[in-house]
Structure 1
Amino acid sequence: MINFLPGKTLMKFDRQLPFYNWLYPMKGQELDTVSHHDFHTGVRTDGVRSRALYFHIPFCDTICTFCTLNRGLGSSGDEQIETYVQALLKEIALKGKYAEVTSVPIRAIFFGGGTPTTLTAGQITRIGRAIHDNFDLSALEEFTFEAEVKSVTEEKCAAMRDIGVNKARFGLQSFDPLYREMFNITATIEQEHEAAALFARYFDYTSFDMIYGMHGQTFEQFSRDIEYATSMGTATMELYPISNVVTQAPLHRNYAARGLEPLSFIDKMAQSIYLNQYLRASGFQQHNGHGFLRLPDGARPGPHFINRDYVNLYNTHTWSHHDDELIGLGNSAISQVANHTVMNDDNRATYVKNLLDSNDVKINLSIGDGIPYERGIILYLPYFGWLDKSRIAWEHIPSEITDKLGTLVQEGMLEEDAQEYRITELGWVWYVNMMYYLSPASDQKVLDEFTALKRRTRGLTDGDDRMLPLLQVGAR
């Protein structure tokens, strides 16, 4: 349980959540396994504002030790990847038959994994053609493709651009040789720079992910990482504090072998505050909870703490309002539709077999208590940093949540006027805990239980998450 701490203090909560990404709602769910057809023939489109597509490509040349996503080893040209592509094409065509799924224009597309650039240029072209043939892309604004720089080629970039990709994103994670070795990152820094330059020739935006707060990381090491990151020249970058409870045991064995101790959560919070100041002084400004936008030369951060000149549109369908929906394709891909959360078969072998043999997909279906009208308040506001009040159906919002909004304004974590709520710098420091705080008690309980379960996982080590002084004044 995490408690809110009112008053004139930086420590607005007595603990920090050890992760920053989850589905909502989590309460009142009934888990069932049904067929793809049974669910999608019943999807309703009334009240849907926009939709995004997610495509999961579960193959990687090498497995990073911090990653627990659904993936396995595979390289461009492998027969297993071609077989998976054939199954994925069948799922695209299958979903394309349902007017309930295809009638709402697609606003954003995201290829994730795994490593989507393990696909060949020909496979990228075939999948892209199928997307264009089966979905209404008249409203498409953003098409993102994740990459691992060793598997990037000019031919693949040309194929990506030809199917409509306008944003490339790759995992850099750290420039520090020590942590790159522990993460099992096998690309070279030279390859990272070459890929960034290649992407700049083909796409409107290039971004990369980095992690900080690793065991034993000093501020000197962190400063070097930030400085090198700014020199990459990309328009945006995403920097995350590492979530140790959802990493893999081999990473923690690497920590132990080198005698590296976990940072406390106060240390990691201090790194986040330092990161904010460092990047703002370097000509960047936050555009969401962990993303930073490079400002034009000579420009200063705008009047609001979070910049609004740029947004990851795909994330507006994952950290979303109740009427922005997500359709997932590929094994283990997630869909969020109205009060339903759907996960495709997480077993790649049975996902492929069922599609190739039976033209169907098994799914796990979770049903919420009702339409999550409050999702925009709980997820969108803390993460994107502002909320247009007209986007919320306030008659459906429990007084418990509106009262908490008032408390956050009173405590200086949010600002409010007649049109919107806005996060402050203090609020941004705690944006993840703010999502927890705004959630109903039943959802908080699920998150508490998940945290406790993960912290019992053998082999994982994490720092102290307490935010208050550990000893009373004068204690020995």
Structure 2
Amino acid sequence: MPGRTLMKFDRQLPFYNWLYPMKGQELDTVTHHDFHVGVRTEGVRSRALYVHIPFCDTICTFCTLNRGLGSTGDEQIELYVRALLLEIRLKGRYAAVTGIPIRAIFFGGGTPTTLSADQIRRIGRALHESFDLTALEEFTFEAEVKSVDDEKCAAMRDIGVNKIRFGLQSFDPLYRELFNVTATIDQEYAAVELFSRYFEHVSFDMIYGMHGQTFEQFSRDIEYATGMGTRTVELYPISNVVTQVSLHRGYADRGLAPLSFMHKMAMTIYLDQYLRASGFQQHNGHGFLRLPENAEPGPHFISRDYLNLYNTHTWSHYDDELIGLGNSAISQVGKYTVMNDENRASYAKRLLDDGDVKINITVGDDIPYERGIVLALPYFGHLDKKRVPWDHVPPEIVDKLGLLTQEGMLVEDDEEFRVTKLGWIWYVNMMYYLSPTSDQRVLDEFVALKRRVKGLTDGDTRMLPLLTGRVG
């Protein structure tokens, strides 16, 4: 066993938003109607909505999500919106789908702010008419700062949006150019001022660990990020396995070599120290919360003073479900994982012509009662034991919890498990480690396939490879 050492695993894993469970039986013959008429609400604690808007003014090189070029006013966006409205109303016909009040809504993409103010209002009106939003606590809109103005912000606020989140990624001119981020820094600052006039909460995303990034460059990015004045900021180590080859061509043209995962881990530890000294504390695996002036961090390593409610339905417990709307949108309902048609053109055509949407369904062996252990505990940093039906949890996962506690990555008392500072460094690895072997195999195959992409380069994932006997 590793014992008293920082190196709890023999390799670091790339950060990636994987689903749980990963495996399951494909049900090719089930129709959209057959599935949704059979959805049940028994045992469901809450639901969230995800709305996918697959258009961007410019394509960022670090992003491989389902999206394409499109700007406000384009006819293709209007066509998509009309199809999306039909899907919203289609799902609104099924009492079992709409019978659970919606707790959180997230508009992602793509770039949802490529929508016009009128389109934003029409989609918002359809959601209010089709779903029970009486329990709605959080309504988030992703934005790109070049595509926002007062009119769009007013439309978002009018439909209930209370959180805005935008991708800043880096302040460094070199990496902004490599990422194809075309907004100016002045526009980023102006956007924070604009958003703060309309919304209760403003946040932005940053990336670190890029090829060739020095600690000096990283320090400047952190310092500038804390000066933006937002209550939270999300900072992710870049996952090269899910970036575009064009980014890596840019690295190569500038002679920038990939950082080892050991180097990235050192940056993560440094990031925590830097932000704590700047008055911040983690609120999840990669999100940091600004503490009130002169306030001390809470009693636990991960703060509980702020929560992204939408994420409680993605990195979640089995009874917090997600309904996806739009092409490629994913729903997680009980033991089912449902993906809408990934092709934007055929998604829109089928809805507009036939009033239906093609879906791909995967069904797991059973309801994933252990999902809160595998995802929510590492990501949010704590697990209420009463939220888990322990009689349905595989013994191997319980044994792994014990080993992680023994290794000092978790602490346990009568009421909960908590992630320690040491555990946070390895939280993605803990998700993998707590997953069943079959899920680990799917993830291994996914990463191996991505690493074979010609032109994509990544750093050494090994952690002190001369040492053996790791827990994962």
Cα distance per residue 1:177-196 (max 9 Å; x no partner): 00000000000000000001
Partners of 1:306 and 1:143 in 2: CA distance: 23
Partner of 1:217: 213
Q: Is the 8 A contact 1:30 1:368 kept in 2?
A: no
The residue correspondences of 1:231-380 to structure 2 (distance < 5 A) are: 231-380=227-376
Alignment partner for residue 194 of structure 2, among 176, 180, 198?
Answer: 198
Partner of 2:105: 109
Structure 2 residue matching 1:11: 3-state secondary structure: coil
Return the offset for 1:33: 5.9
Q: Is the 8 A contact 1:57 1:115 kept in 2?
A: yes
Gaps of 5+ in 2: none
Partner of 2:440: 444
Q: What letter matches 1:278 in structure 2?
A: Y
Alignment partner for residue 27 of structure 1, among 9, 23, 27?
Answer: 23
Return the offset for 1:30: 2.4
Q: What letter matches 1:343 in structure 2?
A: M
Q: Is the 8 A contact 2:315 2:375 kept in 1?
A: yes
Q: Is the 8 A contact 2:232 2:288 kept in 1?
A: yes
Q: Which moved more, 1:362-371 or 1:440-449?
A: 440-449
Partner of 1:416: 412
The residue correspondences of 1:68-107 to structure 2 (distance < 5 A) are: 68-107=64-103
Return the offset for 1:445: 1.1
Alignment partner for residue 391 of structure 1, among 370, 387, 390?
Answer: 387
Q: Is the 8 A contact 2:26 2:360 kept in 1?
A: no
Structure 2 residue matching 1:172: 3-state secondary structure: strand
What's the TM-score once normalised by structure 1's chain length? 0.97
The residue correspondences of 1:143-182 to structure 2 (distance < 5 A) are: 143-182=139-178
Partners of 1:148 and 1:257 in 2: CA distance: 27
Cα distance per residue 1:183-212 (max 9 Å; x no partner): 000000000000011111111100000000
Q: Which moved more, 1:67-76 or 1:19-28?
A: 19-28
Return the offset for 1:468: 1.3
Alignment partner for residue 118 of structure 1, among 103, 114, 130?
Answer: 114
Partners of 1:244 and 1:42 in 2: CA distance: 40
Partners of 2:183 and 2:412 in 1: CA distance: 46
Alignment partner for residue 131 of structure 1, among 109, 127, 131?
Answer: 127
The yes-or-no answer on 1:456 pairing with 2:447 is no
Q: Is the 8 A contact 1:295 1:301 kept in 2?
A: yes
Partners of 2:323 and 2:465 in 1: CA distance: 45
Partners of 1:29 and 1:402 in 2: CA distance: 25
Return the offset for 1:6: 2.6
Structure 1 residue matching 2:444: 3-state secondary structure: helix
Cα distance per residue 1:252-283 (max 9 Å; x no partner): 00000000000000000000000000001000
Partners of 2:27 and 2:432 in 1: CA distance: 23
Return the offset for 1:31: 4.9
Cα distance per residue 1:372-413 (max 9 Å; x no partner): 000000000000000000000000011111111111111110
The yes-or-no answer on 1:427 pairing with 2:423 is yes
Partners of 1:470 and 1:46 in 2: CA distance: 51
Alignment partner for residue 39 of structure 2, among 43, 57, 60?
Answer: 43
Return the offset for 1:470: 5.7
Q: Is the 8 A contact 1:107 1:139 kept in 2?
A: yes
Q: What letter matches 1:59 in structure 2?
A: F
Q: Is the 8 A contact 2:10 2:465 kept in 1?
A: no
Q: Is the 8 A contact 1:34 1:362 kept in 2?
A: no
Q: Is the 8 A contact 1:351 1:361 kept in 2?
A: yes
Structure 2 residue matching 1:170: 3-state secondary structure: strand
Partner of 2:5: 9
Q: Is the 8 A contact 1:33 1:363 kept in 2?
A: no
Partners of 1:353 and 1:454 in 2: CA distance: 31
Structure 2 residue matching 1:448: 3-state secondary structure: helix
Q: Is the 8 A contact 1:105 1:135 kept in 2?
A: yes
Q: What letter matches 1:53 in structure 2?
A: L
Runs of 4 or more, structure 1, over 2 Å off, are 27-35, 469-472
Q: What letter matches 1:329 in structure 2?
A: L
Return the offset for 1:458: 1.2
Return the offset for 1:213: 0.2
Q: 1:441 to 1:77 in 2, by over 3 A?
A: same
Gaps of 5+ in 1: none
Cα distance per residue 1:350-377 (max 9 Å; x no partner): 0000000000000010111100000000
Q: Is the 8 A contact 1:25 1:368 kept in 2?
A: yes
Partners of 1:371 and 1:173 in 2: CA distance: 37
Alignment partner for residue 60 of structure 1, among 50, 56, 59?
Answer: 56
Question: What count of residue pairs does the alignment treat as equivalent?
Answer: 468
Structure 1 residue matching 2:430: 3-state secondary structure: helix
**RMSD between aligned residues:** 1.1
Return the offset for 1:14: 0.3
Partners of 1:471 and 1:174 in 2: CA distance: 35
Q: What letter matches 1:162 in structure 2?
A: D
Partners of 2:156 and 2:308 in 1: CA distance: 18
Structure 1 residue matching 2:205: 3-state secondary structure: strand
Q: Is the 8 A contact 1:288 1:385 kept in 2?
A: yes
The yes-or-no answer on 1:467 pairing with 2:463 is yes
Partners of 1:211 and 1:387 in 2: CA distance: 27
What's the TM-score once normalised by structure 2's chain length? 0.98
Q: Which moved more, 1:31-40 or 1:167-176?
A: 31-40
